[in-house]
Chains A and B, each alone.
Chain A
Amino acid sequence: MDLMPHQIVRFLQLGLEEVFDAKSYWLCATCFSCETQCPRGLDVSKICEALRTIKLRNDLRDLKIEKLSPEMPQQGLVSAFRKLSPY
């Protein structure tokens, strides 16, 4: 993670578009752990999804899969494509 969740929020508060160059929001697994613990009640999963969505809708960045086990549940594939690829 190059930017921690609180840093992502600070970049956004300051309107710094460099935040889009960060890798962190692509590594968010939408586990809702941040929002459960955030003393300010911020929904970090939603913020990361918003950043990804803006990027995906403009850049058509796509999910790269190098190798996949046949045991990977469909659930994993469908989730990954829904969260990390444009559609």
Chain B
Amino acid sequence: MESYLYFPGCSLRTVARDFDDSAQACARALGAELKEMQGWLCCGAVFSNVADNIMTNAGPNRILARARSEGDTLVTLCAGCHNVLKRANLQAGRNAIKQEQINEFNEEKYEGGLSVLHFLEILRDRVGFGTVRDTVKAPLHGLPVGAYYGCLLLRPFDEMRLDDPHRPSVLEDLLVSIGCTPVEYPSRTECCGSYLGVGSPDSMTLLSRNVVQSARSSGATILAVSCPLCKYNLEASQKQDLAASSGSQPLQVVYFTQLLGLALGAAPQSLRLNPVQIQAIRGRVQAPPESVNHP
């Protein structure tokens, strides 16, 4: 069984247990294991663009140093953690003087040698979407899912390099392999408002509402995300809007791992899907298309 060293992060152990549990269920169904790294701590949630303050990089470097003592690959799920750890890892290789200062402060040495990979990259590049398709037990035929990338998975592109920043396809390709019919909508790489929801919730609502409306008007009935903060914002903006206009159903927001887990045959409860989400998915899954005889 393939075992991957894994960094959960703070949100996945509290408000986003659904993301954590469903990803672990997916790994198990694919004959792999996400092995939690020892002694992890908060990654800092955002990477600092300020060049003269290296303190913000102390935390991520402690994580990288500890992960390196256990292996050479670190897998992340939360798009925020992934962005921070990947960029801190790249910076460690680029600036030797800063790195020495950080290492001295931390009293834990990180000298590179680790690959920080998102779980999507493991599925695409190590497991392969072909294997995913062959392992699917309950395909979600015809489910109109809007993949939501947001910002941190893709940008800044010269550092993240996960997919094309303008026309990404990794989430759609995964969704196709489990039978879904992904809906491409204009705002799938636009910002949900991120941390603006803390101090200026109205600004966050404007941005999230744009994403939800874009997906809805393109025919999506579910949004698949990879970030706890995106999920919170997309749901919070709808709560506000639905309170004002009665009658319409909110667009359900789930983690891509919950859809994948369901298609791989995991029980919905083990993926922490709630009854409304299960209904939104099951209600739209179609009977399998007529089987075609492939040579």
Q: B193 contacts A74, CB within 8 Å?
A: no
- The contact of A82 among B44, B190, B193, by CB within 8 Å, is B44
Give the size category of B's interface with A: 35 or more
Residues of chain A at interface, number, CB under 8 A: 34
Q: Does B146 contact A (CB under 8 A)?
A: no
- A contact patch SS: helix
Q: A84 contacts B195, CB within 8 Å?
A: yes
Q: How far is the CA of A63 from the CA of B236 in the complex (A)?
A: 20
Near A by CB (< 8 A), chain B positions 179-198 give 189-191, 193-198
Near B by CB (< 8 A), chain A positions 37-62 give 43, 45-46, 49-50, 53
Q: Does B69 contact A (CB under 8 A)?
A: no
- The contact of B195 among A33, A45, A67, A79, by CB within 8 Å, is A79
Q: Choose, from B9-17, B27-35, B110-118, the stretch at the interface.
A: B9-17
- The contact of B50 among A53, A74, A76, by CB within 8 Å, is A53
Q: B80 contacts A79, CB within 8 Å?
A: yes
Q: How far is the CA of A77 from the CA of B286 in the complex (A)?
A: 40
Q: A29 contacts B10, CB within 8 Å?
A: no
Q: B49 contacts A49, CB within 8 Å?
A: yes
- B contact patch SS: loop
- The contact of A50 among B50, B80, B201, by CB within 8 Å, is B50
Q: B151 contacts A74, CB within 8 Å?
A: no
Given contacts A27-B196, A63-B198, A84-B195, contact A78 B45 (CB under 8 A): yes
Q: A74 contacts B11, CB within 8 Å?
A: yes
Q: A74 contacts B10, CB within 8 Å?
A: yes
A25 CB → nearest B CB, Å: 12
Q: How far is the CA of A36 from the CA of B11 in the complex (A)?
A: 28
Q: Does B78 contact A (CB under 8 A)?
A: yes
Q: Does B200 contact A (CB under 8 A)?
A: yes
Q: Does A72 contact B (CB under 8 A)?
A: yes
Give A contacts to B, CB under 8 Å.
26-27, 29-33, 35-36, 43, 45-46, 49-50, 53, 63-65, 67-69, 71-80, 82-84
- 14 interchain pairs, CB-CB under 8 A: A27-B203, A29-B207, A30-B151, A30-B194, A31-B151, A46-B49, A49-B49, A71-B236, A72-B197, A73-B16, A75-B228, A76-B195, A79-B46, A84-B195
Given contacts A27-B200, A73-B228, 5 further A-B contacts (CB under 8 A): A26-B200, A27-B196, A65-B199, A74-B10, A78-B44
